[in-house]
Amino acid sequence: MVIARPSSNRAGVSRRPRGVTRRLVAAVQLGLEGAWNRWLAAIYVVGQVFDVFTTHVALASGRFQEANPLFGPALQSHEAVALLVKLGLAALVLLATLTKLTGLRRTAVLGVLAFITIEAPALNLLRLVGVL
């Protein structure tokens, strides 16, 4: 027989993260321990947001089309959803990098991600202003 234990709050739901959530938060904190990792992760996040912004501006101008064959059709039919999916995938990549890799390998992958994520919106911007 199973009997429910009385909980400390009325809803019966604890406000503290438990189990998987606690381990995930701890793994992300560990991944962001080094200053380089924090900087590279921040560059990656800012670069992804800037990439979404420059992509939106370029597509809204009507002079450009998405070069990625996977996202091209999605951006034409549901731009906001496709851009949110792109940000979600970027968040999952960052989460996997911070939680599954360790040491120098984590820092190296964050460096590559930061470089790639800065390169894409920079090229978008150069195309928008007519340099490329």
Mean pLDDT, 10 residues at a time, the chain of 132 residues = 55 64 91 94 96 89 86 86 92 95 95 94 91 88
Q: What is the pLDDT of residues 38-71, one digit of tens each?
A: 999 999 999 999 999 998 898 888 888 888 888 8
Instruction: Give the model's pLDDT for residue 16.
Output: 59
What letter would DSSP give residue 32? T
pTM > 0.75: yes
CA dist 38 and 94 (Å) reads 11
CA dist 81 and 75 (Å) reads 8
CA dist 132 and 128 (Å) reads 8
CA dist 103 and 69 (Å) reads 34
